[in-house]
A and B are shown apart, each in its own frame.
Chain A
């Protein structure tokens, strides 16, 4: 992996709001694996300064909690896109990719891992049991992908297959 692609895991969420902490929990688990060549970053939310780190990466995996969608997680390509917001201080993965391209000429391959959560509307520091299971599946999935160095391959592979595998929880 030392000479492989520069991989950035970019996770976000608030561990003080139950399953919203799925992103940080995934980041912590992946960081503990100490995989060579893998850079893990975590914050409360995706923000514009993340563009700088994205611009220095070949592959970016965004990781966030999902309030709906497939269980245990979903995995899909993300491409640059537009969007506007009213007053938020956060941006979307598509927006930061656009900024990385516009400002730094960087076009990393990017995916979004959405780990399904269930309990969001309260303060609390623990993940729900179902979310914990989904987290384990998602981390295993990512670990396998990273260790196989398969992200570049994944770019060429059928996106549908990836999505399908993810939606079935194939790890």
Chain B
């Protein structure tokens, strides 16, 4: 996005970066000027659910991609899984399920690579307190060009996988109710196989980078924005991590199971959403624990905590190292999201390699149909966490109800907790310092919030931090990134 720069000789252009809003943080002080609450404001856009109403159900897997420019494939697949049940086609053919999985792993690979190499690596390589003018992808390119190239090429590879499975990079149509509309040709497979070993090697190196950073700085990392929480994800029947399908598992901060292998069609019996007056975004929680104690984390850290094992060898070895840090107990360290994310990156590319050698991808049995239904739920593990799609469809095939709980919404309370912890640790006096801004940025970034699904704000993506005293007076306000990319 190009913004008006103040140079009046230039043409004033304000193209739209449609996918991001702004991150606004309010820090509430008590009478002793200590932070007693942090509020991360994200303007959730519920309008999309209304936008879907009245549309034919078969359009929904394509339509929902327009919800978000960052993870359209996740919405595409979650909606397709939901609509499978509408046509009674949830028991997919092997070709259909494997094509969808390939698409999904491609999405994971590109999304995690992008986040780590281009958003997080500057923090890790230059330090949290480095000048933001350097602590960015351009800075990485200048000082660590090899790493930056890897990020570009890994992201590109994931996009190529998506292109060949979804049919298009934008508005993919690969998944349809009850199956898919294309298989993978030998030519497409061979094109993807050309670079696969390189991608595996780079992924292994990325895991090592994240692991080394975490272990080297464990004293700081362990407490930075950290807190105990419940964790939630889908899980395979045998307890393996499964990013595409499974039952719901929730565990406590010390690893006790709250529920396990729950059929996600019944998610509403286990998960509720709380509304708070200061936020447009809801706060999901586990019903049996209530809103005060039932909030949970989702995403890479949660998935590493809930899974009993990973079914690909390299990622499983990495998982064991990860678990050793907390002696097998759940890891509640916010910054460990990065290490967990890279383990999933490695898992995704291992899965892609396995699938590319699977002849089922060249099968021609693409769609199944069965008993027609009128209500449906589709869940998937998106890169940022569990994604819920819930629909009702009438006899005229029109969607009459839609409820989406996106990953970032699931992580709403944890992000607030992370910011609060950082603010309590780094606020000194009544002034928002550069150091505090830096640390808040780093804490939020660990969760990789996808504000595009959750907001309707158009334009740039500044971080606004406000300090409010015990009497409601605005004491300080700082904005970062208002003149930067959206």
Please report A residues at the B interface, Cβ cutoff 8 Å.
13-17, 20, 24, 42-45, 47-49, 51-52, 64-70, 74-76, 78, 82-95, 98-99, 102-104, 112, 114, 117, 120-125, 163, 166-167
Are B156 and A67 neighbours in the complex by a CB distance under 8 Å? no
Are A90 and B19 neighbours in the complex by a CB distance under 8 Å? yes
Are A14 and B66 neighbours in the complex by a CB distance under 8 Å? yes
Are A82 and B133 neighbours in the complex by a CB distance under 8 Å? yes
Q: Which 6 A-B pairs have the closest CB atoms?
A: A16-B66, A44-B69, A64-B15, A84-B136, A49-B156, A123-B51
B299 within 8 A of partner (CB) = no
Point out the residues of chain A lying under 8 angstroms from B66, CB to CB: 14-17, 123, 125
A92-B2, A121-B456, A123-B66 known; A14+B11 contact, CB < 8 A? no
Are B137 and A91 neighbours in the complex by a CB distance under 8 Å? yes
Are A95 and B485 neighbours in the complex by a CB distance under 8 Å? yes
A20 to B114, CA, bound (A): 23
Point out the residues of chain B lying under 8 angstroms from A68, CB to CB: 4, 12-14
> How many interface residues does B have (CB within 8 Å)?
68
Are A120 and B16 neighbours in the complex by a CB distance under 8 Å? yes
Q: List CB contacts (< 8 Å) of B131-148 with chain A.
A: 132-133, 135-138, 141-142, 145, 148
Please report B residues at the A interface, Cβ cutoff 8 Å.
1-2, 4, 10-20, 23, 47-48, 51, 63, 65-70, 72, 110, 114-115, 118-119, 132-133, 135-138, 141-142, 145, 148-149, 151-153, 155-156, 159, 169-171, 441, 444-445, 448-449, 451, 456, 458-459, 461-463, 480-481, 484-486
User: Which of A42, A74, A103, A167 contacts B148, CB < 8 Å?
Assistant: A103
A16-B66, A48-B118 known; A64+B148 contact, CB < 8 A? no
- Most central of B66, B153, B480, B486 by chain A CB within 10 Å: B66
Point out the residues of chain B lying under 8 angstroms from A42, CB to CB: 169-170
Point out the residues of chain A lying under 8 angstroms from B115, CB to CB: 89
User: Which of A24, A86, A95 contacts B23, CB < 8 Å?
Assistant: A86
Which chain A residue has the least Cβ–Cβ distance from B136? A84
Point out the residues of chain B lying under 8 angstroms from A75, CB to CB: 11
User: Which of A15, A69, A86, A123 contacts B13, CB < 8 Å?
Assistant: A69
A102-B138, A112-B2 known; A84+B13 contact, CB < 8 A? no
Are B155 and A85 neighbours in the complex by a CB distance under 8 Å? no
Apart from A86-B484, A123-B48, what are 17 other A-B pairs with CB-CB below 8 Å?
A13-B16, A14-B19, A44-B68, A49-B114, A65-B18, A66-B16, A68-B4, A68-B12, A76-B10, A84-B135, A87-B20, A87-B449, A88-B485, A88-B486, A90-B486, A99-B148, A122-B47
Q: How far is the CB of B409 from chain A (nearest CB, A)?
A: 16
Could you jot down 13 A-B contacts, CB within 8 Å?
A20-B18, A44-B18, A49-B114, A49-B159, A65-B16, A66-B15, A84-B484, A85-B461, A88-B17, A90-B19, A90-B486, A121-B458, A123-B48
User: Which of B48, B152, B449 contacts A49, CB < 8 Å?
Assistant: B152
Are A92 and B485 neighbours in the complex by a CB distance under 8 Å? yes
Are B152 and A114 neighbours in the complex by a CB distance under 8 Å? no
Are B462 and A102 neighbours in the complex by a CB distance under 8 Å? no
Q: How far is the CB of B430 from chain A (nearest CB, A)?
A: 23
Q: How far is the CB of A22 from chain B (nearest CB, A)?
A: 9
Q: How far is the CB of A54 from chain B (nearest CB, A)?
A: 10
A74 to B15, CA, bound (A): 10
